[in-house]
Structure 1
Amino acid sequence: MKAGDAAGLPRTRRTALVLLAALFGAALFAVLLRGTALDWFLAGLPAAVLAMACLPKLWAAAGGLSVERVLEPGGKEGELSVRLIFHGRWMPPLLLVQVREQLENLAAAERKPLVLTRWLLPWLSKEWTAHYRVSGLGRGVYQFAPATVVVTDPLGLACGMLKLAAPGSFTVLPQPEETGVFRALSMSEKKASEPGGFAGEGGGKSAGRGGAGPLNRIYREGDSLRRIDWRLAAKGRGLHTRLDEHGASPVMLVLLDLDQRSYRETGADGQLDACAGLAARALMDAGANGCTVRLQAGAEAEVKVAPGDSRAARTAALLLARAVPAPGAGAAESLERLLLGKQLTVGSRIVILTAGWDIKLWEQLADLSRAARCGLELHVPIRSTLPLQARQEREQWAKKSGVSLAWFSLDASRRQGWKGRLSIREEDGHGWQAWS
C-alpha cells in the first residue's frame, strides 16, 4: 500500500499496548507477592483488554472473509448502485469493521482516485452487506481497487487488515451536448459532406447530381481530367468533377484533441468531457443528416461511422469514453499523420474539439487544413470568466484565417474534477466519508 493510501485507516496503538502489558506484569507480580482480591482484579482487567486486542488479528487470519461486488445501473444518467456482500466463516466477536473503497477513472485528465470508507457493526451475522449509490458519474472508464477491510476492537487498540479481491469496472458513455450547441454544424451537415468549399477558398456549393448516380463538385486545379463531367460542361454549366462510389468522396472528420498540454488547468476533466460530448453531438447530427463521419480520438484510435450503422456508432461512443490525454495524441499530430498518409480527401470537413488555448496550435491546425485543402472548424469549451479581449482576438484571427470558430461555455459545476461532481448516498441512511 502506498503512503497516500493509508490516510484514514485505523492503526494499532503500540504504545498503549506496551503500557497495558507493563501494567499487567506489575499486577501479576503483585498477585504472586500478596494474592489479594484487589490484586487479582487489577491483573484481570488489563488481561481482558489485552485478550480483546488479540481478537482482530485472530479473526482477520482465521475468519475466512470474502466479498462479492454487485454493480447495478441507477435510474438516472451517470448513476450506479454498488453492493458489497461480505461472507465470513465466523461472526466477528465484538469487533468493529471498516470497509474502504477506492474508485479510479482511467480516462480522466486528473488521475486521482476517490476513496470511500464506512464503519459497520456485524456482530450477529456471518454475512452482511454494504450498499451505496454513486451519482454524477461523467464520461470515463471506472475501475474499483481491491476492497480494504480493517477490523478493530471496540477500544481501537489493535487492528487487522485484509485486502479482498472484488473485481469491478464499468464504462460511462459521453452524453451528447444539448441540441443547439452544434447548430451551425447540424444546419450545414449535408453541405459539409459534399466537397463544396473549405477555409480560405470560395465556391461552397455542390452542383448536385449530374447524371445517373455520381455526385459532382466544381472543378479545382489538380483534379484528374478523367473525372470531369463533360455532360455538364456540354450543357454550359462549367467544369465539374465527378465523385462516384469508385472515388474518394469527402467526409466529415471529427478530431478530439488529446494533447496533454491542453488539459493542465484545474477542471480539465470537465473540459475533456465537454469535448467528448460535443463529438457525440456531432456524430448524432451527422447521422441524422445522412453523412459519414470519421472519428479520430488518439494516436491510433479511429472509427468510421456511416448513417444508420449502430455498431459503428457504439464503437465510436466507447472510443470517446476511453479517450485520455497522452503524448502524441494531440490534434496537430493526428492531423499531420493523416496528411502525410494521404488519408484526407480534398474538400472534406475537419471539426476539431479542443480545450487548447494556444494560438500557435490553432495556426498549425489551420496550415495543415489548408495543405489538405479541407475546411476547418474549431469548437472550444471555455470558462465564463475568460477575458473578452482574448476571445475577440481569437475570433478576429479565425475570421482572417478562414476558420470557423465556436465557443462552448462551461458553468461552474462542469469545471470541477470528476470527483467533485460525484454524490455518494448510503442506501440504509448512513453516509460514506470521502477523502480527496
Structure 2
Amino acid sequence: MSTGGTGQAEADRGEAGGVRTALAGLTTRGRSFLAAGIAAAICAYVLGQSDLLRVGLLLAVLPLLCATVLYRTRYRVAGGRRLSPARVPAAGEARVHLRVDNVSRLPTGLLMLQDRVPYVLGPRPRFVLDRVEPGGHREVSYRVRSDLRGRYPLGPLQLRLSDPFGMCELTRSFSAHDTLTVIPRVQPLAPVRFSGEAKGYGVGRQRATALAGEDDVIPRGYRYGDDLRRVHWRSTARYGELMVRREEQPRRSRCTVLLDTRAVGYEGAGPDSAFEWAVSGAASALVHMLERGFSVRLLTDGGSSVPGEGADGFAGGQETADAAGLMMDTLAVIDHSDGTGLSRAYDMLRGGDEGLLIAFLGDLDEEQAATVARMSRRSGGAVAFVLDPDTWAREAADVPGPGTGRHAERLRMLREAGWTALGVPRGASLDDLWRQADRERSGLASVSGEALG
C-alpha cells in the first residue's frame, strides 16, 4: 500500500490571476446570460426602452458577479491519494482512495473532483461533493484495472469549483502524482527437482574450505562469545593470540533466467501474445527460484540485467520480497529489443559458474539456435522454453497443432547440446511444461547442475 502526495488548491486571486481566468470559467449558462444581457441592453438603447435596459443589465451582471465572487473566494482545499496496492499483476485491480480536506474557515460550495488516469486504466473518474464544513473532509474511491503491463501515472487531481447558480466553474489542480505499476502475471509453479540436484543452499556445492585439510584452514581472531571448541591451536601458537576456525558457510545456488526480447522472435501483440507469455513465464520462474532460496539474476538478449542487481544476482531468503519487487518492476516495462542475435547474452554468462539456466526464447534461426546451444556449456544445467511461432501466429480460436519441421529441428539442436528443450504452443500452461521438463531431465542419467526445488 502506498500513500500518494498531498497538495492544496486555493480558490483565490493568487492562483492564476486576472479577469481572464474568471471569464474563461463561465459555463454555457453563464455565457448565455451574458450574451442575452448584452443583446437586451443594445436593443434597449436602440429602442429607447429603459425597462428592457434594466433587464439586460441584470442578465449581464449576474454571471459576472458569480465569476467574481467565486474567483475571490478564499477557502483552501487539501487533497491526497492512496493506492491499494501500488503494484498489481496484469488483469488485477487496484483501488485508488481520494481524500479532500477543507482547511479553511469557510465552508465550500459544490465541488466536482476529477482524477486524471491513462485511458488504458479505464474512464476518468468524476465525483460531486456536497458542501464541506470548515475542518471537514470527504473520502471517495474508484478502481483501476489494466490487462497490459506498464507504469501508469495517476494525477494530477483536479477540483472544479462552481457557484450556486451554475454560472461559472473554475478548475484547480493539485501537484501530487502517483504511479501504478502493472507487473506480469505470476503463475505458481510446482516444487519439482530437476534431476536430483542440490537445493537453494546447495549441499552438493561445498565451499573450498570445507574440502581443505587442517593446514589450509583460514583462521580469524577470537571474538567474545566464540565457541572454544573452534580454537585453532596451531594458528594461536603462530600468531601469539587466540585464533578460531571460520564458520563454514553454505554456498547459495545460482539460477539465471534468460528472456529473449528480440522483436524478430515474436509475432502479434496484446495481453495474449507470445511475448507476453514469455515475460510472464520469466516472472514466474524468477519468483519461484527466489522463494526456493536461490541467487537469481535476470538476463536479456541484449545482456542487460535488473538495476541494483549484485554480482551473483538477487539473493532469496529474507530479501525475497524486495528482490522480487525490483525484478517485477523491470519486467513491467520491458519491451522488444531491436537486436537480432543472442551473442551478448552468451558473453554475459560466466563459464561453468552460472548454475541453472532457464531460458524463454522466441523463434530461432539456425545461427541463434547454435548460439543458444553453446550456452549450455556455461551453466550447470539448462532448460529452454521455445515458443512455437506457427501455433502462436494462428487465431486464438484455432486448435494448436504441431510445429513445423524448422521448429522441431531447433529443439533437436538444443537437446543434443545438453538442453532440456520444450516447445511452447499457443495456450500452453507453464506449470504443465515445468513438470514435463522435470520428467525429461529426470530421465537423463548424465545431466548435472543446479537444483530446482
1:87 maps to what in 2?
A: 101
1:325 aligns with 2:340: no
Distance 2:31 2:150 in 1: 49
Of 170, 178, 182 in structure 2, the residue corresponding to residue 168 of structure 1 is 178
1:345 maps to what in 2?
A: 352
Distance 1:15 1:177 in 2: 53
Ranges in structure 1 where 5+ consecutive residues have no aligned partner: 1-10, 105-111, 195-206, 215-244, 412-436
Of 78, 90, 97 in structure 1, the residue corresponding to residue 112 of structure 2 is 97
Q: From the superposition, tell whether residues 50 and 96 of structure 1 become closer, same or farther in structure 2 (CA, over 3 Å).
A: farther
1:122 aligns with 2:127: no
**Is the Cα contact below 8 Å between 1:138 and 1:273 reproduced in 2?**
no
Q: Tell me the percent identity.
A: 18
Q: CA deviation at 1:99?
A: 0.6
Report 1 or 2 for greater relative contact order, CA contacts < 8 Å, sequence distance ≥ 6: 1
Of 259, 276, 279 in structure 1, the residue corresponding to residue 282 of structure 2 is 279
Q: From the superposition, tell whether residues 141 and 322 of structure 1 become closer, same or farther in structure 2 (CA, over 3 Å).
A: farther
**Amino acid of the residue matched to residue 255 of structure 1?**
L
Of 370, 384, 398 in structure 1, the residue corresponding to residue 411 of structure 2 is 398
**Is the Cα contact below 8 Å between 2:39 and 2:56 reproduced in 1?**
no
Residues 243-265 of structure 1: CA deviation (Å, up to 9, x unaligned): xx99x998432123344666784
1:357 aligns with 2:363: yes
- Aligned to 1:150, what secondary structure does the other structure show? strand
- Aligned to 1:388, what secondary structure does the other structure show? coil
1:28 aligns with 2:41: yes
1:407 maps to what in 2?
A: 424
Q: CA deviation at 1:118?
A: 0.7
Residues 348-375 of structure 1: CA deviation (Å, up to 9, x unaligned): 4421224x33546852642542664773
1:51 aligns with 2:54: no
Q: How does 1:168-207 map to 2 (within 5 A)?
A: 168-169=178-179, 171=181, 176-179=186-189, 186-188=192-194, 190-191=196-197
Distance 1:68 1:321 in 2: 24
Count of residue pairs brought into register by the alignment: 337
**Amino acid of the residue matched to residue 317 of structure 2?**
D
Q: How does 1:239-258 map to 2 (within 5 A)?
A: 251-258=254-261
Q: From the superposition, tell whether residues 30 and 140 of structure 1 become closer, same or farther in structure 2 (CA, over 3 Å).
A: closer
- TM-score scaled by length of structure 2: 0.56
**Is the Cα contact below 8 Å between 1:366 and 1:376 reproduced in 2?**
no
Distance 1:249 1:289 in 2: 11
**Amino acid of the residue matched to residue 132 of structure 1?**
Y
- Aligned to 1:336, what secondary structure does the other structure show? helix
Q: From the superposition, tell whether residues 137 and 26 of structure 1 become closer, same or farther in structure 2 (CA, over 3 Å).
A: closer
Q: From the superposition, tell whether residues 288 and 371 of structure 1 become closer, same or farther in structure 2 (CA, over 3 Å).
A: closer
Q: CA deviation at 1:82?
A: 1.9
1:295 maps to what in 2?
A: 298
1:145 aligns with 2:158: no
Residues 357-406 of structure 1: CA deviation (Å, up to 9, x unaligned): 35468526425426647735125497545763546642342124425024
- Aligned to 1:397, what secondary structure does the other structure show? helix
**Amino acid of the residue matched to residue 325 of structure 1?**
I
Distance 1:368 1:55 in 2: 77
Distance 1:40 1:312 in 2: 76
Distance 1:48 1:263 in 2: 64
- TM-score scaled by length of structure 1: 0.58
- Aligned to 1:350, what secondary structure does the other structure show? strand
Residues 131-180 of structure 1: CA deviation (Å, up to 9, x unaligned): 22345687655542322333456887654232202343455665531335
Distance 1:274 1:309 in 2: 27
**Is the Cα contact below 8 Å between 1:299 and 1:328 reproduced in 2?**
no
1:336 maps to what in 2?
A: 346
- Aligned to 2:125, what secondary structure does the other structure show? strand
Give the CA RMSD over aligned residues.
4.9
Q: From the superposition, tell whether residues 292 and 34 of structure 1 become closer, same or farther in structure 2 (CA, over 3 Å).
A: closer
**Amino acid of the residue matched to residue 147 of structure 1?**
L
The structure with more radius of gyration:
2
2:319 maps to what in 1?
A: 311
Residues 42-80 of structure 1: CA deviation (Å, up to 9, x unaligned): 542343244345566555xx4433311123349x98443
